[in-house]
Amino acid sequence: MTTDSDDLPSASVPELPSEGLVLLDVREPDEWAAGHAPEALHVPLGELPSRTGELADLPDDRPVHVICRSGGRSARAAAWLNAAGVVDAVNVEGGMKAWQGHGRPMVTDRADAPPEVI
């Protein structure tokens, strides 16, 4: 895990554990439906402040890795979560594009197409 100039913890996809990963996806509903990590929790960035209660059930002994399409929205979400003291959040560098590029598992909510990152 690395820390950028703003002291935001971040991790690349290859650094993420293959088991026991707590993953929060902050993309929009259409992006989520197209393709997401099987065990991820979905809370769109704009809804995050009003839905922090849902994060209370996440394991508190592991960081919450926050992911979006490419890393920008997840960086904002992770910074906010850390500053607000909600969870110990880590930004996933490269987002779902990197996740897919490294062959990590993905599922889709659509019956007519394979999972993809949009």
Give the active site residues: 68
Q: Could you tell me if 80 and 6 are in contact, meaning their C-beta atoms sit under 8 angstroms apart?
A: no
Give the whole-angstrom CA distance, residue 41 versus residue 55: 9
DSSP state of 46: G
Tell me the C-alpha distance between 68 and 13, whole Å. Answer: 12
Nearest to 118 by CA among 38, 40, 46, 34: 34
**Which residues are bridge partners to 107 per DSSP?**
36
